[in-house]
Structure 1
């Protein structure tokens, strides 16, 4: 009877939690299909964990045809995360012809392992008994490991760029982007890059027979479990915002007759410079007179309803006339309001956090970042300078 260790139990925990997470993501995908690549990612992790469990416990001799099945599949992890990021950027999951290139590394890896898959069950058991240890596995497949890690890190990096594009879209819609900017998701991808870098380092230690290689692999499994838990939390807390974001972003595109899968552009806009100048003046007058920015959750759609100007035209005017997105535009007004509050002696007892909330910010961090970006100083430094100049 093979010995069950704490590390085997961690693998079983990953499989169990991954199964629950997979069911949740598949359910979400029926309404928001851009979560489908993330569901496939979780499935790939489960398969890898199961394969590792079989190898570590020796149960692979009972299911020899599972030997190395996970290896080519592991190379799909990066592409799935990339597809998820791209789907979030456009708020829909859609494959295009060039996506065939995403599975080219997988096909290459599959061809490498094909001779092993063609072996009989008895030969696979012998293969495991002779090369089933970590050291021999790395020695025989070191270039495949390096290829796997390099490909996945490349796709993770490309996914981060997609999320950067997504963040720009969010800032064109909302004045506060907390819980909508998928900040945790981007942290998770960076964590994945760190994990795969750790795996590459472990391969290096194992190949050159240096110490601590096994310990690093165990740490890798722990981090992978943490990633699964955080993915579940992230998906649970952010997917409800995605539906709203999709509707509002699509509305802006449809007003200009564009497809949602294309970036927001103004080249085809019929808005003249004279009309744009009038709209700019109207927007500024409304902002100064009615102070809608004091509403912490105001969206570009809300401002459109209040001013009678379409969301797309507001976005175009803000972008072209102020060289800002909606998020930056609203926060500029909020910072001006915060400065007024700081300079007013009646507010001397208010904390800076309270002033930020009074000005329309819903986060202390966002208030401090916007204030420093606009003024070049923190609220405390600005207040101190104001006192010196007034004395």
Structure 2
């Protein structure tokens, strides 16, 4: 089996997987419909981009449809960016302003109108044959590099901010899904970086290297899509508990300073801190796996803004870590209780408010320096 046949088989497999997953996302019943639609759109555009080997079998030579298929690459990254925004923010809605993300795609196709879209077949062939000298194609490749850098920097900044917002306002385990969303973004960044390298070689004196890179990308594509599908099915509740109107504590502190207001005086700080600690010990809100800072704010009657500053700034802890400290202390009490020696680690983590073994182990080790099992074993040894 030669390289061309392998390429065609891999292309067909990748396209089928992408379209099947897109169909699933569009038809499955879920409250996260917008996110599903955006990722389905990303998969469909990616499938069209992958279809070049098949397209070249059907269409002989350069064509308007072929060029349009190529320029659809300018929609992939913006759609992925909007998908990440929709996953991070629980109140995300598609708005007319998001149509601005179409601008690079429209600009590129307008640039190609005079010397490609509106000319005859012979002129199209000449345009592609002499692509290294065509200013339009040089402009397109520069624009794509700029778009790549701008959007992926924006995605990583968004993920960093929403993770911090989540830690400052929530204590659930949705934070775990952030990790794989971050991983997926890293994988895509590497994939697009390789694709850019392919394009650089395509316009150099070594175009055959570009062909081998393209072959490698097509081989990797189905594995990446399958990996994403596996992760998505194992993380149905994505990182969606952040409201876009929330502000970081650092921003709140800066606003307070600009307004020449003290965040909270010492006496009020001590009073609110005692009130908060008493509530945490007596009512044990941390046993609720999905407790938020808003929930506690309502019950202790401290405004959310002040409570956020109190925990995240004055105590120097994220709300996520603050709540987990109480959960771990509660777990340690259970582990110390000889009458509960038969209770499993899994039962304990659910009892104290965790619903993920990995997050429980991470938090426990961060707090005690040991895993729950090591801690229990050390207690048993000390008794002996």
How high is the TM-score relative to the length of structure 1?
Answer: 0.71
Per-residue Cα deviation, 1:131-153 (whole angstroms, up to 9, x for no partner): 4xxxx978976785565356324
Q: Partner of 1:328 in structure 2?
A: 321
Per-residue Cα deviation, 1:200-249 (whole angstroms, up to 9, x for no partner): 34445664538765443223123333444455566667676677x37xx4
The Cα of 1:81 is off from its aligned counterpart by 2.1
Per-residue Cα deviation, 1:291-318 (whole angstroms, up to 9, x for no partner): 3323444444554566566656644443
Asked if 1:157 is matched to 2:153, the reply is yes
The Cα of 1:370 is off from its aligned counterpart by 1.6
Q: Partner of 1:49 in structure 2?
A: 50
Select the residue among 181, 190, 210 that pairs with 1:185: 181
The answer to whether the 8 A contact 1:85-1:160 is kept is: no
Per-residue Cα deviation, 1:249-274 (whole angstroms, up to 9, x for no partner): 4xxxxxxxxxx545366558999645
Larger RCO of the pair (alpha carbons < 8 Å, separation 6+): 2
The 3-state SS of whatever aligns with 1:200 is helix
Describe the shift of the 1:146–1:382 C-alpha distance in structure 2 as closer, same or farther (beyond 3 A): farther
Select the residue among 201, 221, 224 that pairs with 1:224: 221
Asked if 1:61 is matched to 2:45, the reply is no
The answer to whether the 8 A contact 1:170-1:180 is kept is: no
The answer to whether the 8 A contact 1:172-1:325 is kept is: yes
Asked if 1:263 is matched to 2:247, the reply is yes
Instruction: Give the CA RMSD over aligned residues.
Output: 4.5
Which stretch has the larger CA shift, 368-377 or 137-146? 137-146
The answer to whether the 8 A contact 1:81-1:156 is kept is: no
The answer to whether the 8 A contact 2:178-2:238 is kept is: no
CA distance in 2, matches of 1:241, 1:97: 25
The Cα of 1:190 is off from its aligned counterpart by 1.0
Describe the shift of the 1:305–1:382 C-alpha distance in structure 2 as closer, same or farther (beyond 3 A): same
Q: Partner of 1:253 in structure 2?
A: none
Q: Partner of 1:337 in structure 2?
A: 330
The Cα of 1:329 is off from its aligned counterpart by 1.2
Aligned length: 367
The Cα of 1:189 is off from its aligned counterpart by 1.3
The answer to whether the 8 A contact 2:330-2:352 is kept is: yes
Per-residue Cα deviation, 1:103-151 (whole angstroms, up to 9, x for no partner): 5544554355332222224544x459x74xxxx9789767855653563
Describe the shift of the 1:52–1:220 C-alpha distance in structure 2 as closer, same or farther (beyond 3 A): same
Query: Where in structure 2 are the equivalents of 1:1-391 lying within 5 Å?
Result: 5-23=5-23, 25=25, 32-33=33-34, 37-55=38-56, 57=57, 59-61=58-60, 64-90=63-89, 91-93=91-93, 100=100, 102=101, 105-107=104-106, 109-114=108-113, 115-121=115-121, 123-124=123-124, 126=125, 131=129, 144-145=140-141, 148-149=144-145, 151-178=147-174, 181-203=177-199, 207-209=204-206, 213-230=210-227, 245=241, 249=243, 260-261=244-245, 263=247, 266=252, 273=265, 277-300=270-293, 302-303=295-296, 307=300, 314-344=307-337, 356-379=349-372
The answer to whether the 8 A contact 1:18-1:228 is kept is: yes
Describe the shift of the 1:32–1:322 C-alpha distance in structure 2 as closer, same or farther (beyond 3 A): farther
The Cα of 1:92 is off from its aligned counterpart by 1.1
The Cα of 1:60 is off from its aligned counterpart by 1.6
Describe the shift of the 1:293–1:233 C-alpha distance in structure 2 as closer, same or farther (beyond 3 A): same
The Cα of 1:373 is off from its aligned counterpart by 2.8
Q: Partner of 1:254 in structure 2?
A: none
CA distance in 1, matches of 2:229, 2:371: 36
The answer to whether the 8 A contact 1:174-1:298 is kept is: yes
Describe the shift of the 1:348–1:103 C-alpha distance in structure 2 as closer, same or farther (beyond 3 A): same
The 3-state SS of whatever aligns with 2:112 is helix
The Cα of 1:319 is off from its aligned counterpart by 2.6
The answer to whether the 8 A contact 1:153-1:193 is kept is: no
The Cα of 1:165 is off from its aligned counterpart by 1.8
CA distance in 1, matches of 2:275, 2:354: 24
The 3-state SS of whatever aligns with 1:75 is helix
Per-residue Cα deviation, 1:327-354 (whole angstroms, up to 9, x for no partner): 1111111222333344555566666666
